Every structure is written in structure tokens, then in C-alpha cells.
């Protein structure tokens, strides 16, 4: 009798192939989506945002100049710095290569335009050729932009 039970079980295979087919299809779909996800989210994949430096800055305004001090955080290449001053809605952009912008180390030695802006360094801007900051009632916004990552590192109201 035991032999008859095994033969009866072996003859009733109608739904087995459908179940195995569905399990295989689910496995193929899971493998396909996981390989795509690994490609997209890996370090070598398509999604790799540019590095944005984390830097602490302190800014001040005197009568004719704007000073920006590096007070901590990462160093930034001076060639990737753009400073935007908005005075009552009028914007002016400044790069380190401009004649009215200069960067100095803590000892007061002028930095070259291909140098690095790091802790203790400061930038002095004379914006008088582009915008007027001498008005006491003027609203002055400062944007310190890292051009390589296209991100604003600091936004301040002077």
C-alpha cells in the first residue's frame, strides 16, 4: 500500500509547474531590481554629488569694505570661491582674481589666487566699483558660494 501512495502523489503534479514558474519569475525580478539599485547607489554609480566644504565664516562690514574671516571647518581652494553682495536688490559678484578682492593669511601676508582659504585667513573686498555699501540704511546680503559644487556655504545680512 505504501507504494500506491507514492505513485498517487507523483501523478498529481498539475499545479507544481505553475508555482515553480511564479517563484522563478519573482526571483528574476528581484535580482534585476537589486542589480539596478546597486549600480545607482554605489560610489561608482551615476549618483555621486559633489563635495560641499563645511566651513565656518564670520563677516563684518566697515565703511568701505567687507571682510570675511575663516573661523573653522574645511579649507577651500580660492579659485572656487565666489562672493555675491546684494545691496538693496542690486547684485555684484566678486572672485578672488578681481582687483578689488584680496585674501590674506593670519600674519597679513597676501595669498595667491590659486591658494587655499583656511583657518585664520580672511578676505577683504572693496565693492565701491560695483555697488555702494556706505549707505547706513542699505540692506546688504552676502552670499559665499562654492562654485565647484554650486552651493551657498554662507548667507549673511550685513
Q: Domain range for residue 30?
A: 2-41
Q: Which residues pair with 83 in a beta bridge?
A: 94, 144
Number of domains in the chain: 2
Say if residue 7 is in the same domain as residue 76. no
**pTM for the predicted model, two decimal places:** 0.68
Q: What is the pLDDT of residues 60-88, one digit of tens each?
A: 998 889 999 999 999 999 999 999 999 88
Say if residue 22 is in the same domain as residue 72. no
- What's 110's DSSP letter? B
Q: How many residues does the chain have?
A: 158
Say if residue 137 is in the same domain as residue 83. yes
Cell of 5: 501512495
Instruction: Count Cβ atoms below 10 Å from residue 154 Cβ, excluding itself.
Output: 16
Amino acid at each position: 500500500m505504501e507504494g500506491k501512495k507514492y505513485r498517487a502523489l507523483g501523478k498529481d503534479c498539475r499545479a507544481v509547474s505553475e508555482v515553480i514558474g511564479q517563484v522563478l519569475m519573482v526571483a528574476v525580478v528581484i535580482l534585476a531590481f537589486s542589480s539596478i539599485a546597486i549600480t545607482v547607489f554605489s560610489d561608482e554609480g551615476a549618483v555621486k554629488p559633489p563635495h560641499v566644504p563645511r566651513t565656518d565664516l564670520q563677516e563684518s562690514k566697515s565703511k568701505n569694505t567687507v571682510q570675511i574671516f575663516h573661523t573653522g571647518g574645511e579649507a577651500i581652494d580660492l579659485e572656487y570661491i565666489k562672493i555675491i553682495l546684494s545691496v538693496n536688490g542690486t547684485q555684484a559678484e566678486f572672485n578672488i582674481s578681481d582687483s578689488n578682492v584680496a585674501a590674506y593669511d593670519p600674519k597679513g601676508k597676501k595669498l595667491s589666487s590659486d591658494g587655499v582659504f583656511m583657518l585664520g585667513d580672511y578676505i577683504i573686498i572693496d565693492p565701491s566699483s560695483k555697488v555702494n555699501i556706505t549707505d547706513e540704511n542699505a540692506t546688504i546680503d552676502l552670499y559665499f558660494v562654492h562654485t565647484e559644487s554650486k552651493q551657498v556655504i554662507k548667507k549673511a545680512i550685513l
